Amino acid sequence: MSKSQIGNIMFTKDEIEARVHELSVEIFEHYVSKGVHEITLVPVLVSSFFFCTDISRNLNRISSDRNVEFQIFIDPIDVSFYGETSTTPSDTPTIRRNVAYSIEDKHILIVEDMIDSGVTLKHAYDILAEKKPASMQIAVVFDKVENHKVDINADYVGFPSPDVWIIGCS
């Protein structure tokens, strides 16, 4: 895609980095205020992994700066509407990779880049909820609330977004 095909810049790199840091502070303060010092980040692969890494780094930095022990584990899940060889979406998302470790009685933060229809995230949420975590929350960079087709809401939202294609560039 050429630059001439790209519309307006919605958020600059600096704005996104600042907002991700703010979210990280909110996340840290929420868990620590509840006496929780260990969480498992569950990125919904593949697009959310960079956001997850940024959240993890920020949480580590905040923990160190405040001299508060706070452990972070990362255990990705891969949910897709597409089969391994299919280019046509199915009606129901499938789990291509589930969490590798037990999350029972663990505090889970699902990390996703964007909520559009919410169907994939809701499916992932429901699958993880069956594993009986102590708590589950959701963090997203972009939330297209007007597009939600299912009842799913993020606890931490970077930016509410209109119904437009969002392209990340560096």
Let me know: does 140 contact 114? Beta carbons within 8 Å. yes
Q: Which of 116, 143, 151, 155 is catalytic?
A: 116
Pair of tokens at residue 144 = 């297209």
Pair of tokens at residue 87 = 């280019």
Residue 55's nearest CA partner among 16, 97, 106 is 16
Give the contacts of 149 (CB within 8 A, at least 6 positions apart): 117, 118, 119
Q: Please say if 14 is a catalytic residue.
A: no
Residue 64 phi/psi, 5° resolution?
-65, -45
Please give the positions annotated as active site: 116
